[in-house]
Amino acid sequence: MSEPNFFKTPDPVTLGEIASWAGAEILRGDPSLEIAGVAPLEDAGAGMLVFFDNTIYLKQLEGTTAAACLVGKRHKDKVPEGVAVLVCADAYRSWALVLARLYPEAMQPRDPGVAGVSERAIVDPGAVIEDNVTVEPGAVVGAGVEIGAGTVIRANAVIGRGVRIGRDCVVGSNCTVQHSVLGNRVFLHPGVSCGQDGFGYAMGPQGHLKVPQVGRVIIQDDVEVGANTSIDRGANRDTIIGEGTKIDNQVQIGHNVVVGRHCVLVSQVGLSGSCTLEDFVAIGGQTGVRGHVTIGMGAQVAAVSVVSDDLPAGGRYGGTPAKPVKQWFREVAAVRKLAERGGGS
């Protein structure tokens, strides 16, 4: 069985073109050198472009036979002889820019040859769909839905009654979107559940009485949501995801949560109801945030932490409960010393 190649091999380009796309300076190498594609450090051969940004992979860099390497200034002298050197301010960012030019289909929401509303989709006649929208087979679009131009609704996605979706969005296969308003260029990966009930019950000895959830989910422009993430609608106000925020796979966002602009939430983060993340907050994987707390602008929280109280802006935090990282490291070191002493008694 032959191995499929899901992305077209790019046409050859010159090192000079690569430098222009990457905003890089050619420190070593011929601008007319032909680049045929990209590859990992350890697999790259003649004509291949690589990048280096982490000393963990220094051994692979030392042994690479690539044609050229994108690298930051601090690592430029580590590139072996015979490999052209492109120096840039941020190697990973420049790498992303180059990949987008070499593999544009990996950035585009619409598969080649797919356009329009499939005859095997179910679209309510009351839905308003602008030009150049793609609705794939098996998708369901409910009454009163509005979908903007250039948006793609993948196979078997369900768009509930009255949902608004902006332009140039992607709603992945098997997503469910209800009680939600999406801005432009929103990307929901497969299996996202958006706008379902929040987890609200008036608990008591007579049983747990369900509290109706009457808010919405508002997702602003340029948000990307990873596969199988859940975003609950608000209870009595809206759940809001600010513009430019990037959310990984399998994240849980509870009702009434407000996530600011350009935040980053890594896989398996859990945000309890009514917590607030100000702009540019970054939270590592498997971290839990208690309800009704606020994490200040630009704060960073390490993976596998528990945020149980408000965290000031701009700090770095970690641990259970989360605290400034320097304090956390001191506590970990102190516990280790105690354990070592106890083990030797």
Q: Known catalytic residues? A: 255
Residue 126's nearest CA partner among 156, 146, 155, 140 is 146
Type and span of the H or E element at 19: helix 15-22
Residue 291's nearest CA partner among 271, 277, 312 is 271
Look at the chain and count its residues: 345
Count of structural domains within the chain: 1
Residue 197's nearest CA partner among 216, 223, 181 is 216
> Residue 70 CB: number of other CB atoms within 10 A?
28
Residue 82 resides in a domain: yes
pLDDT at residue 141 in the model:
98
Residue 222 resides in a domain: no
Kindly report, residue by residue over 197-246, the tens digit of the pLDDT: 999 999 999 999 999 999 999 999 999 999 999 999 999 999 999 999 99
Residue 69 resides in a domain: yes
In 31-188, the DSSP E strands lie at: 34-35, 37-38, 48-52, 68-72, 84-88, 122-123, 128-129, 134-135, 140-141, 146-147, 152-153, 158-159, 164-165, 170-171, 176-177, 180-182, 187-188
Residue 17 resides in a domain: yes
Residue 50 resides in a domain: yes
Residue 37 resides in a domain: yes
Type and span of the H or E element at 138: none
Amino acid letter, residue 280: F
Residue 101 resides in a domain: yes
Alpha-carbon torsion (192, 196, 202, 206), positive or negative: negative
- Distances from the Cα of 42 to the Cαs of 52, 90, 114, 191, in angstroms? 11, 21, 36, 34
Non-local CB neighbours of 152 within 8 Å, separated by 6+ positions? 109, 110, 133, 134, 136, 169, 170, 171
What's this model's pTM, rounded to 2 decimal places?
0.91
Instruction: Report the alpha-carbon distance of residue 166 to residue 149 in Å, rounded.
Output: 8
| Burial class of residue 66, CB neighbours in 10 A (0-12, 13-18, 19+) | buried
pLDDT at residue 341 in the model:
85
CATH number where 72 lies = 3.40.1390.10
Q: Which residue has the tokens 């350009």?
A: 262
CA 329 to mean position of chain CA atoms:
29
Range of the structural domain that residue 23 is part of: 13-106
Per-residue confidence in pLDDT tens, the chain, 345 aa: 777 788 888 999 999 999 999 999 999 999 999 999 999 999 999 999 999 999 999 999 999 999 999 999 999 999 999 999 999 999 999 999 999 999 998 887 666 566 799 999 999 999 999 999 999 999 999 999 999 999 999 999 999 999 999 999 999 999 999 999 999 999 999 999 999 999 999 999 999 999 999 999 999 999 999 999 999 999 999 999 999 999 999 999 999 999 999 999 999 999 999 999 999 999 999 999 999 999 999 999 999 999 999 999 999 999 999 999 999 999 999 999 998 887 554
235-238 own/partner pairs: CB under 8 Å, 24+ apart: 235/198, 235/200, 235/211, 235/273
Residue 132 resides in a domain: no
172 contacts 152 by C-beta, under 8 angstroms: no
Rounded (10°) angle between helices 15-22 and 91-102: 120
